[in-house]
Amino acid sequence: MDMSSASLRVLCRIAESGSFTAAAAQLGYTQSAVSRQAIALERSVGATLFERRTDGVRLTQRGLTLLRHARAILESVDAAERDLTGGAPRTEPVRLGLVFSAGPVILPAALARLATTAPQVRVSTREGTTPGLARALRTGSIDLAVLTSRPPHRPPEGELPRLHITAVRDVELLVAAPATGTFAGRTSVHIDELVDAPWIASPSSSAEPLLGVWPGLPGRAHVVHNARDWLTKMHLVAGGFGVTTIPESLSPVAPSGVIFLRVQGAPPEIRRIFVARLPGTPTPAITAVTQVITSTAQP
């Protein structure tokens, strides 16, 4: 078999992103170049590595086998490069993924505590959705992830291997509304009152769901603004341009001019925050990061 490190990196990116197009964007290639690399890699190993589906690309069993070896090979290549350039680290790196709503509250406090309890650990972070970060864990591109689940709070087990889960806390969803206007001075709202409200939503899909419109809202929501960034959404709310759904844990970092309403007339919407990693014995660094996340995320 003739495989370059470039082709193995393409394999890893396709596995992580779930599509040739997304892998190309992350690598700075064209989509056709990634497709050619994928075809060449399959020819080199003499096996089908990718399952092309209408909802993206998944690795076959042989693809997953090669992926495990690819991660080890690329880590060795990177280590060799550090040794040859004199940049071998004396720290313990941990690659951490977080859902978008976790970063503002959990990350700064966790990193501050980690600097005291385990200063040798160096954390690098990335944001994403629960499905995307679970996929990144399984492909080995991150070591640990802060994810969320909906009732009945099943872990993201669409693929193997099964993830090791540490529950952190449950949070209730609220509606963030302008402090002036229709809902001024209130602490709750009936769900029927939200049907015609102007919503600030996050672009999402069934495969990559994001918060924005209230999950149990009857009928079709009137979406006036789309924004993925939490700070943007909160300032749009503060400016009186709409309402949005927010985890209660984010309320302390919201700007002034925003109030938070519990929704009546519908069952409470609860999300569970948990830390996930691959099965097996974790490294001391991963254990240290898990511990500071679980301790700082407690109410």
Closest CA to 5 of 79, 62, 58, 59: 79
pLDDT tens track for 223-236: 999 888 888 999 99
Class level of CATH domain 5-84 = mainly alpha
Look up the pTM and report it.
0.69
Please tell me whether residue 28 adopts helix, strand or coil conformation: coil
Closest CA to 104 of 122, 127, 131: 127
129-145 mean pLDDT: 87
Determine contact, residues 248/171, Cβ cutoff 8 Å: yes
Q: What angle, 0 to 180 degrees and rounded to 10, lies between the N-to-C axes of helices 5-17 and 20-27?
A: 120
pLDDT tens track for 229-264: 888 999 999 999 999 999 998 888 888 999 999 999
Q: Please list the residue range(s) of the chain that carry CATH number 1.10.10.10.
A: 5-84
Please say whether the dihedral angle defined by the alpha carbons of residues 93, 98, 100 and 102, taken in this order, is positive or negative: negative
Q: Please list the residue range(s) of the chain that carry CATH number 3.40.190.290.
A: 91-299
275-279 mean pLDDT: 91
Residue 11: Cβ-neighbour burial (10 angstroms; 0-12, 13-18, 19+): buried
* 91-299 topology per CATH: D-Maltodextrin-Binding Protein; domain 2 (3.40.190)
Q: Rounded to 5 degrees, what are φ and ψ at 67?
A: -60, -40
pLDDT above 80 (res 215): yes
46-51 mean pLDDT: 88
CA-derived radius of gyration, the chain: 22
